[in-house]
Amino acid sequence: MKIIQKISAVCFFIIFSLSCFSQSYELGKVTVTELEEKEHPTEKDAEAAVLFDVGRTYFSYDMNNGFQMITEVTSKVKIYKKEGYSFGDVEIPIYIGGTERESVVFSKAYTYNLEKGKIEKTKLKSDGEFLEKTNKYWSKVKISMPNVREGSIIEYKYVLTSPFFSNLPEWYFQKSIPVKYSKFETVIPEYYYYTPRTKGYILPKVTSSAKSTTFHYTDKEKVGNSHFQKTSYSNEQFSYKETITTYVSENVPLLKKEDYVGNVKNYTASVNHELTSTNFPNNPIKSYSTSWEDVCKTIYDSENFGAEVKKTGYFEKELDFVLQGKNTRDEKIIAVLDFVKKQVKWNDFNGIYCDDGVRSAYKNKTGNVAEINLMLVSMLRYAGLEANPILVSTLANGIPLYPSRTSFNYVVAAVEIPDNLILLDATDKNSYLNVLPSRVLNWNGRLIRKDGSSTFVNLLPKLISKENTIGLLSIEADGSVKGKIRMQHYDYNAFRFRSRFLNLTKETYLEALEKKLSSIEIEEHIASNESDLSKPINEEFQFSHNGLTEIIGDKIYFTPLLFYAMSENPFKADTREYPIDFTFPHEDKYTLTYSIPEGYVVEYLPKSLVLSTGDNLLNYKFNAQAVGNKVQLSVSFSINESIIMPDKYLDLKDFFKRVVENQTEKIILKKV
């Protein structure tokens, strides 16, 4: 019996040891088996995979600099396909905009490959590391791993040192490739209190513990009188408690690529830590960001925000001239908006605070987002309008889910009218009343009034932007199609057109349009109202194409909407975790009249169809009829909300499926 117990104990020890070895997350532990692996075990199409990603943020103290926040990260990545080579390029942003700045150092960076059955190890050299300046506030430290190819394993370590404590680095458990193991540990002294916030659909396992840390230092003091002094040294120490919190996720699936997502980072599994308060010895507790009201009041009270809105005396004379003869509310708003857009150009810097101030921006004719739009608020108020700034988080910055001083990175202006707001942004020459750049259409913003009070406002467009297409078309006996098209782009559709195409030459634009419309040949293209933002963009052109129909025997087949038809359903997944983001509500209408060739009759027309989701989020109408030698087609397709929640996904998927089936069904002409 004792022998059996001993054998069992030995077996348990061996199994436990092997388990520990297999779960080792240290650099340098690369095996032949790992290098021989041709594809991910569960995600067969994955281009690469994270074998482990381990991070640790802690605080280091010294007598000269006090606490410094240090983040150490080690990563190991397997490359399966050529498309995964980009994971050998790593970049870490660092803040460089003040007297204090961040730094990052890479080390232990190697690429491993299998050569004739043996492991080949290639070290990152100095020429593979770069410092790239993004703007006057930020730079990127970048590495490009050497000798990366299919089958490679890359690994590296970096250490980020920061004097800024308002947020710990956000840790992402989920990526665009599968993640086998992800661990993030925080070691926080008792003087700092951070609120951890997780997001995404995969939650990590969390454990916490505490320990006491002792800091040893040497104190020196001058002792004696004025005639005789000497330096006395003493060994001192102080202790403080630290809280250790560990977050672990294993076998995390890759972040699915889906259409109409917006910023996918909004839904990526991650954890962030916002500094809530500090409590240092012999000092009162200092609180930060306890509520949205506190956050906004702190921002508004800043001399680089609220004080800048109140500044006047630098624009009145010129603005008085601009406002002459402008009597209605909208006339005044348009005049002020146009004046600011012409007077000050955006320098491409975001931010909720002014850098050089509104006066300097006005004088130098360039400024950041805050300077331009706070100036706009000030001028609107001068014109007698109830105007206020709105704090915004751009799409790239993410959705502001929790009270945080770093949630917002942009400012727009609003004029309050009864039961509504008119939203404005003077950074973009093509923006208009309630037509903002798409970068700021990100759920909610926070409006701040003159007294410092604030409230959330919906930034998502409510106005349905229309696009009307009218066509007089001719189907020829040889199957070619020619005709004339007239299109009108309203509101956000007009904004997109102006933003995308007005900076292009006409030849470049027509090439792009021809490619978009199934490579048609366009002639006599005319556009109007390009610069009149109050009117829709009008386009007219003639076209011809030889490949839009199919002739089989004595019959001609073609889809009713030709190059405008939706040929496939953009929603293919069985389920959806993320909201569906259409950016803005829109309605597309098509009124097409076809002349059929002499000697042909209409043998078949797709049946009329009316579709609508139960909650009226989407609508579709299709009607085709034959009148003499013509086919008249009327189609409308509307999406009535900017964002649709994932619980409506299956209804939406089925809706689009039926639309595609309808639009790919053929009209049949028969020779008689």
pLDDT score for 294: 86
Edge-to-edge, what's the strand order for the sheet holding 630-639? Answer: 521-528, 537-545, 481-489, 465-475, 586-595, 630-639, 618-627, 609-612
Give the span between the Cα atoms of 157 and 537, in whole angstroms.
53
- Contact yes or no for 112/30 (Cβ under 8 A): yes
**What's the one-letter identity of residue 238?**
F
User: Does 309 score more than 90 pLDDT?
Assistant: yes
Percent of the chain with pLDDT over 70: 93
Edge-to-edge, what's the strand order for the sheet holding 66-79? Answer: 118-123, 103-115, 153-162, 66-79, 48-62, 179-189, 229-252, 205-224
- Contact yes or no for 147/121 (Cβ under 8 A): no
User: Does 12 score more than 50 pLDDT?
Assistant: no
At 289, is the pLDDT very low, low, confident or very high (cuts 50, 70, 90)?
A: low
Q: Is residue 7 in a domain?
A: no
Residue 670, both tokens: 């028969």
**What's the one-letter identity of residue 593?**
T
Burial of 649 (0-12, 13-18, 19+ CB in 10 A): buried
Say which residues have a Cβ less than 8 Å from residue 666's Cβ, sequence separation at least 6: 557, 558, 559, 604, 606
User: Are 570 and 513 in a shared domain?
Assistant: yes
pLDDT score for 73: 98
User: Are 451 and 529 in a shared domain?
Assistant: no
User: Does 467 score more than 90 pLDDT?
Assistant: yes
Residue 53, both tokens: 């990603």
- CA 114 to chain CA mean position, Å: 38
pLDDT score for 217: 60
Q: Are strands 586-595 and 465-475 parallel, antiparallel or unpaired?
A: parallel
Range of the domain at 567: 465-671
The structural domain count of the chain equals 3
User: Are 354 and 262 in a shared domain?
Assistant: no
Looking at 252, 278, 304, the residue that finishes a domain is 278
**Under DSSP, is residue 603 helix (H, G, I), strand (E, B) or coil?**
strand
- Contact yes or no for 68/152 (Cβ under 8 A): no
Give the span between the Cα atoms of 195 and 290, in whole angstroms.
10
User: Does 239 score more than 70 pLDDT?
Assistant: yes
Q: Is residue 597 in a domain?
A: yes
Q: Is residue 642 in a domain?
A: yes
pLDDT score for 230: 52
pTM of the model: 0.85
Q: Is residue 234 in a domain?
A: no
- Contact yes or no for 322/331 (Cβ under 8 A): no
Looking at 435, 458, 481, the residue that finishes a domain is 458
* CATH number of the domain residue 451 falls in: 3.10.620.30
User: Are 274 and 313 in a shared domain?
Assistant: no
Q: Is residue 23 in a domain?
A: no
Compute the average pLDDT of residues 247-259.
92
**Under DSSP, is residue 492 helix (H, G, I), strand (E, B) or coil?**
helix
Looking at 433, 458, 483, the residue that finishes a domain is 458
Burial of 77 (0-12, 13-18, 19+ CB in 10 A): buried
pLDDT score for 400: 86
- Contact yes or no for 63/185 (Cβ under 8 A): no
Burial of 609 (0-12, 13-18, 19+ CB in 10 A): middle
Dihedrals φ, ψ of 20, to 5°? -65, -40
Q: Name the nearest CA neighbour of 356 among 304, 299, 298, 408.
A: 304
Q: How many CA atoms, within 13 angstroms, populate the side-chain half-sphere of residue 664?
A: 10
User: Are 522 and 482 in a shared domain?
Assistant: yes
pLDDT score for 627: 93
Give the span between the Cα atoms of 537 and 530, in whole angstroms.
6
User: Are 270 and 365 in a shared domain?
Assistant: no
User: Are 473 and 570 in a shared domain?
Assistant: yes
CA distances from 617 to 464, 467, 520, 613, 656 (A): 12, 18, 33, 6, 12
What per-residue string of b and e applies to 397-428 under the rule 16 or more CB within 10 Å gives b?
bbbbeebbbbbbbbbbbbbeeeeebbbbbbbb
Residue 85, both tokens: 């080579």
User: Are 142 and 53 in a shared domain?
Assistant: yes
Compute the average pLDDT of residues 516-524.
93
Compute the average pLDDT of residues 3-15.
39
User: Are 59 and 82 in a shared domain?
Assistant: yes
Q: Are strands 286-287 and 270-278 parallel, antiparallel or unpaired?
A: antiparallel
Residue 161, both tokens: 């040192």
Q: Calculate the average pLDDT of the chain.
A: 91
616-649 pLDDT tens trace: 999 999 999 999 999 999 999 999 999 999 999 9
User: Are 589 and 440 in a shared domain?
Assistant: no
Give the span between the Cα atoms of 197 and 398, in whole angstroms.
14
92-151 pLDDT tens trace: 999 987 788 999 999 999 999 999 999 999 999 999 999 998 888 889 999 999 999 999
Q: What is the 3-state secondary structure (H, E, C) of 91-131?
A: EEEEECCCCCCCEEEEEEEEEEEEECCEEEEEECCHHHEEE
Q: Are strands 179-189 and 48-62 parallel, antiparallel or unpaired?
A: parallel
Query: 58-67, 109-118, 416-425 — which is least confidently predicted?
Result: 58-67
Compute the average pLDDT of residues 212-219.
71
Q: Name the nearest CA neighbour of 354 among 431, 300, 402.
A: 300
If you count DSSP H runs as helices and E runs as strands, how many of each does the chain have, helices first?
Answer: 11, 36
331-382 pLDDT tens trace: 999 999 999 999 999 999 999 999 999 999 999 999 999 999 999 999 999 9
Q: Name the nearest CA neighbour of 199 among 275, 270, 273.
A: 270
pLDDT score for 8: 41
**What's the one-letter identity of residue 380?**
L
pLDDT score for 288: 79
Q: Is residue 393 in a domain?
A: yes
* CATH number of the domain residue 507 falls in: 2.60.120.1130
User: Are 318 and 249 in a shared domain?
Assistant: no
pLDDT score for 253: 93
Q: How many CB atoms lie within 10 A of CB 17?
A: 10
DSSP state of 292: H
Give the span between the Cα atoms of 141 and 464, in whole angstroms.
44
- Contact yes or no for 390/412 (Cβ under 8 A): yes
pLDDT score for 140: 95
User: Does 481 score more than 80 pLDDT?
Assistant: yes
Angle at 210 between CA 209 and CA 214, to 5 degrees: 150
User: Are 93 and 110 in a shared domain?
Assistant: yes
Residue 335, both tokens: 């005049």
Q: Is residue 352 in a domain?
A: yes
Q: Tokens 């995390």 sit at which residue? A: 252
Q: Is residue 339 in a domain?
A: yes
* CATH number of the domain residue 80 falls in: 2.60.40.3140
At 219, is the pLDDT very low, low, confident or very high (cuts 50, 70, 90)?
A: low
Give the span between the Cα atoms of 355 and 332, in whole angstroms.
28
pLDDT score for 502: 86
Give the span between the Cα atoms of 424 and 416, in whole angstroms.
11
Q: Name the nearest CA neighbour of 521 among 510, 532, 529.
A: 510
